Amino acid sequence: MEQEDAIRQGLGSLHGIPLFKSFIEGWPQVKAFQARPDDLLISTYPKSGTTWLSEIMDMIYHNGNAEKCRRDAIYNRVPFLEMKVFKGPSGVEQLENTPSPRLVKTHLPVQLLPTSFWEKDCKIIYMARNPKDVVISYYYFHLMAKVHPDPGTMAEFLENFMAGKVAYGSWYDHVRGWWEKKQEKKILYLFYEDMKKDPRQEVQKILQFLGKELSEETVERILHHTSFQEMKKNPAANYETMAFTFMDHSLSPFLRKGGGGFGRDVPGLYFSPPLWLQIFNVCEDLPPLFSCPQVSLETGRTISLWPRMSALTSTTRSTWQALTSTSRWRFEVLISLPRRIALLLALPVGRVDPDGVSFTNSLFPLQ
């Protein structure tokens, strides 16, 4: 335990973004990093499918040759740009010794990305995942990754996550920043939930983005090799080769679940209606991708749910508060959202009536 406590590090602030202190110490090296024109940057908020996407990209770069993708651990095949902990090479040092074309991983928010990536017009793939699955996965990762601060209880960690007081800051600012940047730069913006539902379609999007053609047989090999079942048992992808000093897989495996479910598998975890409202309220000033939903009441009248409760009329506010505070609601509601908005904000899509509740994508389980 003493060794574990000694290795865990706190967070500092880099231009207003919470970041590991050792990463901040290495920031001058990261800021001065020289990208190459043929670099491919993989960017995500933490626990949003980074390793999965990295393995897919390495398989694409090696034309579906699984043996070549077992040549080394994923964290060496796709170096982590801003990584700097204790002894060993930093991410920048790893990348400097990596031949082109390089795959580069980062969790940096868009405003902190080294300018050389923009100057060299590098291709970038960003993947976003709904915040509810992110926060649960991030919590378990903090437990097993000993370089992270102690997460405390799930409730404490959730509070910090909602306040943007975890490494890399606000999930909302992160996904929004990269979404806005894609309007002007060479960025392919993917969604974890889309990749989970139809990986073949998403791999084809990547191939089109790269201007690369692969046979159906090769694509099939890529899909098989990068399936959750295969990656979970692959030492080159599941981080089992990472020293125990840094990761304790007995506390939680690195590839824990690989799906969605919004925390239904977490014992004792209950996302109450007020918490749902809290998550919803953080939507202020988000771009059209994350537009707030509309609610159609049984009267047929449609009301818009604005980012902040203070923006609602007293009648609408009292109606919404009633919706989030009762367990058996006495009127019919249909919340209808574009699929991606519903997935990313994890808002419910379904129906409520006097006889019970039926949600197809419920943010919180009802008691």
Number of C-beta neighbours around residue 229 at 10 A:
10
Model pTM score = 0.72
Average of per-residue pLDDT values in the chain: 71
Q: Report all structural domains of the chain as residue ranges with CATH numbers, in order of start.
A: 2-232 (3.40.50.300), 273-359 (no CATH)
Q: What are phi and psi of 202, to 5 degrees?
A: -70, -35
* Confidence band of 229 (pLDDT split at 50, 70, 90): confident
pLDDT at residue 366 tops 60: no
Per the model's pLDDT, the better-predicted residue between 338 and 276 turns out to be 276
Determine what percent of the chain is predicted with pLDDT higher than 90: 37
Q: Which residues lie across from 105 on neighbouring strands?
A: 42, 80
The pLDDT of residue 333 is: 27
**281 pLDDT exceeds 50?**
no
Give the pLDDT mean for 191-207: 92
Residue 234: pLDDT band (50, 70, 90) is: low
pLDDT at 149: 82
* Catalytic, out of 62, 107, 142, 148: 107
Strands 356-359 and 302-304, by their bridges, are unpaired
Average pLDDT over residues 210-235: 89
The pLDDT value given to residue 233 = 74
Q: Give, for 127, the enclosing helix (H) or strand (E).
A: strand 123-128
pLDDT at residue 76 in the model: 87
Which carries the bigger pLDDT value, residue 264 or residue 312? 264
Q: What pLDDT was estimated at residue 335?
A: 33
- Cα angle value 212/215/217 (rounded, 5°): 140
Q: How confident is the model at residue 236 (pLDDT cuts 50, 70, 90)?
A: low
Helix then strand count (H, E) for the chain reads 17, 11
**H or E segment and range at residue 106:** strand 103-106
Where is pLDDT greater, at 197 or 354? 197
* Active site (annotated) includes residue 107: yes
Instruction: Pick the closest to residue 256 from 236, 242, 239 (CA basis).
Output: 239
pLDDT at 267 over 90: no
**Which of the listed ranges 36-40, 83-87, 243-247, 343-347 does the model predict with the highest average pLDDT?**
36-40
pLDDT of residue 239: 54
Task: Look at residue 328 in the predicted model and tell me its pLDDT.
Answer: 26
**Contact residues for 336 (Cβ-Cβ < 8 A; gap 6+):** 293, 294, 296, 349
> Is residue 26's pLDDT more than 80?
yes
For position 321, what pLDDT does the model report? Answer: 42
Average pLDDT over residues 266-284: 45
pLDDT tens, position by position, 110-161: 999 999 999 999 999 999 988 778 888 888 888 877 777 888 887 788 888 8
Q: Which residue has the higher pLDDT, 135 or 273?
A: 135
In the predicted structure, residue 15 carries a pLDDT above the cut 90: yes
What pLDDT score was predicted for residue 102? 98
Whether the per-residue pLDDT at 304 is higher than 50: the answer is no
Long-range contacts from 321-326, C-beta under 8 angstroms, 24+ separation: 323/273, 323/352, 324/273, 324/274, 324/276, 324/277, 325/273, 325/274
Mean pLDDT in residue range 200-216: 96
Q: Which helix (H) or strand (E) holds 297?
A: strand 294-297
pLDDT of residue 193: 85
In our burial notation (b when 16+ CB lie closer than 10 A, e otherwise), range 341-359 reads bbbbbbbbbeebeeeeeeb
Residue 278 has a CB neighbour count (10 Å cut-off) of 14
pLDDT, tens only, 50-89: 989 999 999 999 999 988 978 888 888 999 999 997 777 8
Looking at this protein, which amino acid is placed at residue 246? F
With a pLDDT cut of 70, the percent of the chain lying above it is 62
* Euclidean distance between CA atoms 165 and 170, whole angstroms: 7
Grade residue 311 by pLDDT with cuts at 50, 70 and 90: very low
**pLDDT score at 245:** 55
